[in-house]
Amino acid sequence: MVTALVTGGTSGIGAAFARAFAERGDNLVLVARDEGRLAETAAQLRHAFGVEVETVSADMENRDDVLRVAALLERAENPIGILVNNAGFGIHTSLLAEDTTPHERALNVMGRAVLLLGAAAGRAMRSRGTGTIINISSVAGNITMGSYSAIKAWVTSYTEGLAVELKGSGVQVTALQPGWVHTEFHERAGIRESSIPKFLWIDVDELVADCLADVAKGKVISIPSARFKFLTFFTRHLPRSTIRSISGRISSSRAH
């Protein structure tokens, strides 16, 4: 039994990770902004699985809040053995927009927070000789859909760099690259599910199960399902001009 800390742990992929950990008997620290939703999710998990669930209300855009969570990752008592950096959101704003606030917020939540929490977890886990860090990236990081793709490309590269620094330490570092997953993420991002072919959608619990299997195998990059492994292979080998063309077509599927 270990304790897993999950950011954005009350919905979507984060909630699915929390359920998977609780089902196997791991205790939890759930981090999210909404205190009411945190309390509700924690109560459900305690009742269903009999595990201990600690909740932390924090905004990953706020540096002080992130540092408060980082301190938990370095605590000596009841140490945290798994970190899932999951908090995030889609971005609609054009790269040419005069107001760059949405991009800056995204960089803070999905970039800076991942960096600060990954560093804290890595130091603490290395000193104990064991631990797991899972950073939620995206297959979008392999294409060119604005700042979201750029940030997720950074998450993947950062994860690989962290894995290099922690090699041989007993700490497993993995970047999960989801594609289209049945969660509320895409609805909030304004993406019409009907515009995406059905065969491309992945069940969120299957996604998490695949990722944890890859973690157990020591994989640094986890790409769920054979179809996304196939698609990712092509994004790595097609001419970048073709990737940009494909990215433009995908962007047109967003609701306006």
Domain positions in the chain are 3-251
pLDDT value of position 146: 81
Q: Does pLDDT of 67 surpass 80?
A: yes
* CA dihedral of 107, 145, 140, 168, whole degrees rounded to 10: -40
Mean pLDDT of 193-203: 59
Q: Is 117 exposed, middle or buried (0-12, 13-18, 19+ CB in 10 A)?
A: buried
Going from the C-alpha of 156 to that of each of 49, 80, 135, the distances in angstroms are 32, 22, 8
52 vs 231, which has greater pLDDT?
Answer: 52
234 vs 98, which has greater pLDDT?
Answer: 98
Where is average pLDDT lowest: 47-56, 85-94, 151-160?
Answer: 85-94
Query: pTM of the full predicted structure?
Result: 0.85
Locus of tokens 């945190």? 38
Integer Cα distance of 202 and 224 in angstroms = 8
* Neighbouring-strand partners of residue 82: 4, 132
Mean pLDDT of 174-184: 74
> With bands split at pLDDT 50, 70 and 90, how would you rate the model's confidence at 234?
low
242 vs 212, which has greater pLDDT?
Answer: 212
Number of other CB atoms surrounding residue 28 within 10 Å: 27
Q: 148, 158, 180, 228: which one is catalytic?
A: 148
> Is 158 a residue of the active site?
no
Q: Judge contact between 250 and 196, C-beta under 8 A.
A: no
Q: Which CATH superfamily is domain 3-251 in?
A: NAD(P)-binding Rossmann-like Domain (3.40.50.720)
* CA dihedral of 55, 41, 201, 118, whole degrees rounded to 10: 10
Integer Cα distance of 92 and 239 in angstroms = 25
